[in-house]
Structure 1
Amino acid sequence: MLDLILCVDDDPITLMLCKKVISKASFSNKIATAKNGEEALQYFDSILNKKEEKIPELIFLDLNMPVMDGWEFLDNFNTEKYASVNTKIIVLSSTIDPEDHQKSKNYPMVIDFLSKPITNEMLNYLESKLQG
């Protein structure tokens, strides 16, 4: 079981479903949420500034969001500023564009690209992937 996960999505129903499925599957002890990439970066900045809070081990990241989308988040997160953060990212998107899937491979912290909605089977798959 992971200690802390961050779900980044602008849709409150998706966030609620994420929390519900992750909790029910006992996949993580705590689940933090952010409504867009900018909010997620601010969350990481506050953790890095305090230094005593736990850093999420995994992020479920949507791509299409207002303010700052998933790609902009990845561009910012993939900089020296966040180099000490060892968080893995799962792109969780409704896009079916194969170019998006290919583009996500340019980011070393992205370990998978999965289609919404999050499911129990998906978490079982990820659990074995994260342990391996």
Structure 2
Amino acid sequence: MAAASPTILLVDDDEPTRRILRRWLTHLGVRAHVVEAPDGQQALALVEAHCHSPEHSLGLLVILDLNMPIMDGLEFLEHHVQLPPGCRAGTAVIVLSGGMPDAVYHVRVRALATDIQLKPLDIHGLAALVRQHLPTALPS
């Protein structure tokens, strides 16, 4: 039986981006359960399921794209903050953005997300995010 570990959720409609992020996490030796979602709707379902899992207390790092079909990143954030506080506890939502369409949009995202990182994210930036938000997932 595998030991319990924190979870990293990669949310992006661009499969090659998710594949690169997953590859970098593997290269960094990250000890976490990595799951993927191509849109905010599927991501929200995964977050809700995570809330009821034994790994919930170990933390969840969500790396979220903003521009996606079905449910975009801002809609995901708006739904995420409506989850029970116990479900949101231990969860960091990092938005990856190539830029915000306007200042009002930026303020809304900033208010709902843990942090915003500008694209492109590189392996060193990804390592820094994991180190800051899921330090137990990195090898000593």
> Normalised by the size of structure 1, how large is the TM-score?
0.80
* Cα distance in structure 2, aligned partners of 1:28 and 1:59: 15
Q: Which segments of 5 or more consecutive residues in structure 1 lack a partner in the other structure?
A: none
CA distance in 2, matches of 1:23, 1:98: 35
Length, aligned pairs only: 125
Q: Give the AA of the match of 1:84.
A: G
State the shift of 1:104 in Å.
2.2
The alignment partner of 2:35 has SS state of strand
Structure 1 outlier segments of 4+, above 4 Å: none
CA RMSD of aligned residues (A): 2.2
Q: Which runs of 5+ in 2 are unaligned?
A: 136-140
**1:1-132 equivalent positions in 2, closer than 5 A:** 3-48=6-51, 51-55=52-56, 57-79=60-82, 81-85=83-87, 86=89, 87-95=91-99, 97=101, 99=103, 100-107=105-112, 110-130=113-133
TM (norm. structure 2) is 0.76
Cα–Cα, structure 1 residues 5 and 127, in superposed 2: closer, same or farther, change >3 Å? closer
Q: What is the Cα deviation at residue 43 of structure 1?
A: 1.4
- Report the AA paired with residue 49 of structure 2: S
Shift of residue 3, structure 1, vs aligned partner:
2.3
Give the SS at the match of 2:69. coil
**Distance (Å, rounded) in 2 between the aligned partners of 1:30 and 1:10:** 20
Partner of 2:138: none
The answer to whether the 8 A contact 1:18-1:118 is kept is no
